[in-house]
Amino acid sequence: MKRGLKTFLIAGVFSMMTASIFAEAPAFDLKKGTVKLNSGHEMPILGIGTFQLSNSQAENSVYWALKAGMRLIDTARIYGNEEGVGRGIRRAIKDGICKREEIFVTTKMWTSDFSNGDAAVDASLKRLGLDYIDLMILHHSQPRNDVDAYKAMERAVKAGKLRSIGLSNYYEPDDFDRLVKATSIKPALLQNETHPYHQSGKMKAHIAKYGTVMESWFPLGGRGYTQTLFNDPTISAIAKAHGKSSAQIIIRWHLQAGNIAIPGSSNEKHIIEDASVWDFSLTNDEMSRMASINKDRRNANY
């Protein structure tokens, strides 16, 4: 082998190894309120979650969120409200609030559907009444057949039915890697329970090498736990300093910490409040104080 060619090949291999070692999750654009996923698609970093909402509640909450300026919507097959989410989207489009291409819709494939993932994708599209879904994620780790389900989502990406794919509720690096090594498309996103008392540092650091971003479900701690976070002395003090609510401080912390946030609500006033976090920022000291209250404590067991 000629010296020049050998040097070129070695340099190329080193370059690829270096890129792999030092890869990191894409940075959030806090001015635009978006992040460019490893799939190449741009995703809003703040949106509405619809867990435990009925179809009628989901329709209204989605409509109010879009009216308030949010463009990210999160639902799931198991929530039983994809139809309502779709109605809320069409209602907002009809009223001229936004266009379909401005909205980023996420849904999740439930574990009982993993054995027939292709049909699950089509069923979600039909329930939502959409031509494509911006992001579909597997709802839980299920080693016996989640790889097959993920491959079904990969096929749906190639068919233009899905634009990005990802995972939810994978809490151990080895479990995440198990699936990644058996599939072709790197997860664009991992949606896990993440909030000030469970900041997901280990998994965020691990998935960064794949260019995968973290999204928080239960960003405010979850039903039954929100008041604990709202009354935390550190959060309350920062809220008072900014003239904001504790909820707004927590959401702003998520965005600056690199967590996509999807607070859920069926209350229009709360949705408007959750959307109003773009006119202030937390200082480095305040971000450090928020980091210091981490307890690595989850509030859910699923």
Task: Tell me which residues are annotated as active site.
Answer: 79
Tokens encoding 18? 């270096």
SS3 assignment, position 165: strand
Rounded to the nearest angstrom, the gap between the alpha carbon of residue 57 and the centroid of all alpha carbons in its chain is 21
Secondary structure letter of residue 159 according to DSSP: T
Tokens encoding 152? 């079904």
Tokens encoding 2? 């000629």
What phi, psi does 277 have (nearest 5°)?
A: -130, 20
Tokens encoding 48? 């509405």
Block residue for tokens 């792999």: 20
Bridge-based pairing of strands 42-44 and 47-49 is: unpaired
Tokens encoding 204? 């965020």
Beta bridge partners of 49: 74, 264
**Rounded distance between C-alpha atoms, residue 83 and residue 129, angstroms:** 7
Tokens encoding 199? 């900041």
Contacts for 89 with CB less than 8 Å, ≥ 6 apart: 62, 66, 73, 100, 103, 105, 128, 129, 130
Tokens encoding 81? 């409200």
8 A C-beta contact, residue 86 and residue 77: no
What phi, psi does 206 have (nearest 5°)?
A: -70, -45
Within 10 A of 89 (CB to CB), how many other CB atoms are there?
23
**Rounded distance between C-alpha atoms, residue 225 and residue 238, angstroms:** 19
Tokens encoding 260? 């996509």
